[in-house]
Amino acid sequence: MIVSETVTLAVAAAVNPVPWARAQMAFTLAFHIILVPLGVSWAFMTLIANYRAIKRGDHDALVLAQRWSKYMAVTFAVGAVTGTVLSFEFGLLWPRFMGIYGDAFGIPFAFEGLFFFTEAIFVAIYIFGWRRLKPWTHFWTGVPIVIAGVFGAISVVAANAWMNAPAGFTMNANGEITKVEPLEVIFNDAMPLQAAHMVIAAYLVGGFLVASVYATGMLRGRNDRYHRIGFTIAFTVAAIMTPIQMGVGDALARWVYANQPVKFAAIELVPTTASDVPETLLGRLTAAGTISGGIPIPGLASWLSDPATGKSTVVQGLDSVPVDQRPTVRETDTVHLAWDVMVGLGTALFLLSVWYGVTWLVRHRMPKSRWFLRIAACTGVLAVITMEAGWIVTEVGRQPWIVYNRMKVEQAATANSGVWITFLAVFVLYAALGVTTILVLRGMSRRFRRAGGFVEGDTPYGPTEPAAAGEASEAVEEPTP
């Protein structure tokens, strides 16, 4: 008995907590980030449907807005849970990081908390305001949800941007922060482009996610006006954001080239400093520091880095810094592949958006091709993969730094060798939460279809009894003065 306990303790002591801490943070962030676009963009799309319902007396748009507000509440609640876990993880998994830099890093999260509570309050008012407020009064209660969602996302991204461009603090000779400038922390050099990139991504991904559901419904024969409006609102939001995102993404990539050259070298798979650097599609870096496979496009990486100097633009290579200050070979291959996936799928989504936009301009309707609907039904998943790939580029590309050029991941991680237990516990919790969320949303969808309208006793889990025909038509009428 004593021997077995000794062996168990020895094994636990031998566990390296750093990979487990990184794996847990990566898993929880990858899960939570799927909910962020819905939390940021769904309220905006709901207000579009709500506005249409009031302005035009559109019953289908009204039902759509009412149902979307219930779905929005569920995803908001789940996002609150997963976001709270992430907040605790900073202290549990990275105590040394928080111990040194918490005074600065925590400032954007303080603002995020204020925006979160504001959003939660108005989500409750908006949901329970159906039938209890006048139409336009109720509509305006939804506007703070949109604003708070956007600024909440910006606050969180500002914290991440600070890790890429730390600023706004003064340290003494003992490595302790003695002074913090909150505005400089929030509005660090990386924040504007990173925040814009994420907020636009939220609307893009959220729009494609919602549109993909209605595209699937139409492929299954539900080609009624309700489904067409649902698809049109969501897909239009995403289609408008797609070309904007490509422009912002290009500007952000050039910022990385100028300010994080080693990350840029990993993105473009550049082992040694050179000019006339090719853009290598796919391919990988070998242990010998050479590129294996892939399709090189001569000079394109240099040209994209700075069109003013074209192919003569010098791109700093991975070998410009010591081995312990740059991503490993595996991390470099991961970053480069994630970059190719992000750009490739983003381009595909852009081309689909062009198809949609041209059809609207020429024929004043959405494309009727079933191939368009088949592709549109996949855009939700493709958009999520694109977003996840973008975050891999951001986080893995910064390795080995948790605070760029100031603190490495190994220096920041917990020394608790039992962190693998929390990883398994969180994995089980999130798996159960994910399955439950999907089942709840599917159950809501089925009950909504059976109900056909909106009922007074409706809850975030959807109606349990069909609404009377008079109630559904009454809901779109303006109240008498």
Same domain, 351 and 438: no
Task: Taking each helix axis as running N to C, give the angle between helix 59-93 and helix 419-451, from 0 to 180 degrees, rounded to the nearest 10.
Answer: 170
Same domain, 161 and 39: yes
Same domain, 245 and 316: no
Does residue 469 form part of some domain?
A: no
Number of compact structural domains in the chain? 2
Long-range pairs for 113-120: beta carbons < 8 A, 24 or more residues apart? 115/148, 115/149, 115/151, 115/152, 115/155, 116/80, 116/83, 116/148, 116/152, 118/144, 118/148, 119/39, 119/76, 119/144, 119/145, 119/148, 119/149, 119/152, 120/76, 120/80
Does residue 464 form part of some domain?
A: no
Does residue 476 form part of some domain?
A: no
Q: What is the pLDDT of residue 417?
A: 86
Does residue 170 form part of some domain?
A: yes
Question: Residue 96 belongs to what domain range?
Answer: 17-255+398-447
Does residue 250 form part of some domain?
A: yes
Does 227 score more than 70 pLDDT?
Answer: yes
Q: What is the pLDDT of residue 87?
A: 83
Residues 412-447: pLDDT tens digits? 998 888 889 989 999 998 999 889 988 988 888 888
Does 464 score more than 50 pLDDT?
Answer: no
Q: How many CB atoms lie within 10 A of CB 56?
A: 11
Same domain, 100 and 236: yes
Mean pLDDT of the chain: 87
Q: Out of 350, 374, 392, pick the residue that ends a domain.
A: 392
Same domain, 438 and 421: yes
Closest CA to 376 of 245, 204, 213: 213
Cβ atoms of residues 104 and 169 within 8 Å: yes
- Say what the alpha-carbon torsion angle 132, 133, 139, 141 is, to the nearest 10 degrees: -90
Same domain, 377 and 429: no
Same domain, 231 and 367: no
Does residue 278 form part of some domain?
A: yes
Mean pLDDT of 466-471: 42
Does 117 score more than 70 pLDDT?
Answer: yes
Amino acid identity, residue 71?
Y
Same domain, 230 and 300: no
Contacts of 201 (CB under 8 A, 6+ apart): 37, 245, 387, 390
Does residue 340 form part of some domain?
A: yes
Q: Where are the beta strands (DSSP E) in 344-408?
A: 401-403, 407-408
Q: Out of 348, 368, 392, pick the residue that ends a domain.
A: 392
Same domain, 406 and 367: no
Terminal-to-terminal C-alpha distance of the chain: 81
Same domain, 251 and 339: no
Mean pLDDT of 361-375: 91
Mean pLDDT of 99-115: 91
Length of the chain: 481
| Angstrom distance (rounded) from CA 455 to CA 178 | 58
Same domain, 302 and 204: no
Q: What is the pLDDT of residue 443?
A: 87
Does residue 225 form part of some domain?
A: yes
Amino acid identity, residue 321?
V
Q: What is the pLDDT of residue 190?
A: 95
Q: Out of 356, 377, 392, pick the residue that ends a domain.
A: 392
Q: Collapse the DSSP code of 248 into the 3-class scheme (helix H, G, I; strand E, B; otherwise coil) and give the result.
A: helix
Does 342 score more than 70 pLDDT?
Answer: yes
Percentage with pLDDT > 70 across the chain: 91
Same domain, 212 and 325: no
Q: What is the pLDDT of residue 310?
A: 87
Q: What is the pLDDT of residue 14?
A: 58
Report the helix count and the strand count for the chain, using DSSP H and E: 16, 8
